[in-house]
Amino acid sequence: MLVIVLFGSLARATPRALAWALAGAIMFVLLLLGCAMPAGAEEASAGLEPALLESVRTLALDKAVAPGAPRVEVVLGQLDPRLRLAPCARIEPYLPAGVRLWGKARIGLRCTQGPTHWNVYLPITVKVYGRALVVPAGAVAGSVVASADLAEAEVDLAEESSAAIVEPKLAVGRVLAQAMKPGQTLRQGHLKARQWFAAGETVKVVAAGDGFVLESEAQAISNGIEGQLARVRTESGRVLTGVPSAERRLEVTL
C-alpha cells in the first residue's frame, strides 16, 4: 500500500523530485537486500559454541610449547567477522602443521559433518608465565646493565619472540640496544651483540663430533660476533666456519 501511495504522489511530482524519490527507493531496497542473509548462513563468531571453544582451549594447553612453565594461559581471539560458514554438525579443532603455540598463534577448525566441509583458523594467544629478569626503573639505550638495574619477576615469557633473560650473568656488563620501559622484561634482543674476537686474532677452535671433541688454534678471518657465523683459517690453510661462543673461542660441529 505504501508503494502505491508513493507512486501516486510521484505522478504529480516534478522530474527532479521524481529522480530523487526513485534514488531513495532504490537505496532502501538495496539496504533491505544487504541485511538479508542467505538461508543457512550465519556469523562466523556466532557459530562457535562454548563446548567447541573449550575444546580449542584444551588442545592449545595440551600442545603448548612450555616445558617446566608453572602457568600457561590461552586467550581465544575472534574469527574474521566477514566469514559466512555453512551449518555444521561437527567441528573439529586441530593444530596446523608448523604452528608453534607460543605467543600469537592459531588453531584450525574444520567442519567434518555438514553440507560443506569448510576449514578456518581461529587466532589465539598463548601466555607462558615464568620467572625472568625485569628492569624496574627502566633504562636508556646505550647504557651498561648493572646488577642493581635488575630484579626478578613473573612475566609472560611468550610475549615476544626474543628469549627472556633469566640469569643476571647473561646481562650484567652488556650494553642496551634500545630503551627499556619501567618493569619491562629484559630479553636477548634488547642487548647489543658481543664481539668475542676480531679478525686477525688467534682463537681456540673447539670441534665436536659423534663421541669426540677436538681443540686447536686458528686465525680469525672475520669478526666473531655473538649470534653470527664466523670463519677462521687453520695452520694447514683450511677454512672453518663456526659459532663464536666465548672470548676468542669458536665452536664447530663436524
Name every residue whose Cβ is closer than 8 Å to that of residue 158 and which is 6 or more positions away in sequence. 66, 102, 103, 126, 127, 128
Pairing state between β 184-185 and 249-253 = unpaired
Q: 65 and 110 in one domain?
A: yes
User: pLDDT tens digits for 209-231?
Assistant: 888 889 999 999 999 998 899 99
User: pLDDT tens digits for 182-215?
Assistant: 999 999 999 999 899 999 999 999 988 888 889 9
Domain count across the chain: 3
Q: 94 and 112 in one domain?
A: yes
- 78 vs 57: CA distance, rounded Å: 13
- 109 vs 154: CA distance, rounded Å: 33
Expressed as residue numbers, the domain containing 186 is 129-190
Domain end point (choices 128, 146, 170): 128
Query: Looking at the domain assignment, is residue 2 inside a domain?
Result: no
Domain end point (choices 81, 102, 128): 128
- Cell numbers at 137, concatenated: 626503573
Q: 111 and 146 in one domain?
A: no
Per-residue confidence (pLDDT) for residue 66, from 0 to 100: 74
| Three-class secondary structure of residue 228 per DSSP | coil
Q: Which of 139, 140, 164 is nearest to 152 (CA)?
A: 164
Q: 123 and 49 in one domain?
A: yes
The pLDDT tens digits along the chain (254 residues) read 444 444 444 455 555 555 555 555 444 434 443 333 333 333 334 458 899 999 999 999 999 877 777 899 999 999 988 888 899 999 999 999 999 999 999 999 999 999 999 999 999 999 999 999 999 999 999 999 999 999 999 999 999 999 999 999 999 999 999 999 999 999 999 999 989 999 999 999 998 888 888 999 999 999 999 889 999 999 999 999 999 999 999 999 87
Per-residue confidence (pLDDT) for residue 192, from 0 to 100: 93
Q: 214 and 169 in one domain?
A: no
Half-sphere exposure of 113 (CA within 13 A, CB side): 4
Q: 115 and 52 in one domain?
A: yes
CATH number at residue 220: 2.30.30.760
CATH number at residue 145: 3.90.1210.10
Query: Looking at the domain assignment, is residue 111 inside a domain?
Result: yes
Q: Which pTM value belongs to this model?
A: 0.64
Query: Looking at the domain assignment, is residue 27 inside a domain?
Result: no
